[in-house]
Amino acid sequence: MKKDIEFPKSENVFLAAIPQWNDDFQEESWYVYLINQTNEDLEMVLAVSRAYGIIDNEQRKTGTFRHAFDKISANSQTKIELLENNVLQLNNEFAVTYFLNGKLFDKKFVFKTNTINKKALSDIPGTDLRGVLLK
C-alpha cells in the first residue's frame, strides 16, 4: 500500500547552474552540476531533464535527457549537463533520484524561466564555485 512506503526527504543534495567557458561554442555557457554535500556517497544516481515554457506565445519543449552515475562521492560536485543559451528562457526541470544509505531519494529541481543569469550568481557553499543554486 502507498501509505506503507517511506519517502525520505532529500537533504544536502543540490543543483547549481554554473557559467563556464565552452571551447566548442567559443562562448560562456551554463552547466548544471549536482552537488553532494552529504558525508556519504550517492549511489545509482539518475538525473532526468527537460525544458518547457512559452516563447512568442507558442508552447515549446525540449526532448528528455537522462544521465546516470554509478557513484557521486561525498562532499563533491559532478557536472551533469550543458544548458544551451536558447533554453534559458524556458523552465529547466531536473528530476534527481539516488540511493543513500540503502534508501531511495527523489527530488525535483526547476530553474524557472530566465532565472539563470549573471545577476543571480552567488557563492556555492562547500565549493569554490559561483552559480545559481537550487536547494
Residue 8 near residue 38 (C-beta atoms within 8 A)? no
The radius of gyration computed from the CA coordinates of the chain, to the nearest angstrom, equals 16
Q: Kindly report the CATH class assigned to 2-134.
A: mainly beta
Backbone phi, psi, residue 114, to 5° = 60, 20
The pLDDT tens digits along the chain (135 residues) read 566 677 789 999 999 999 999 998 889 999 999 999 999 999 999 999 999 999 999 999 999 999 999 999 999 999 999 999 889 999 999 999 999 999 999 999 999 999 999 999 999 988 889 999 999
Q: Is the pTM of this model over 0.75?
A: yes
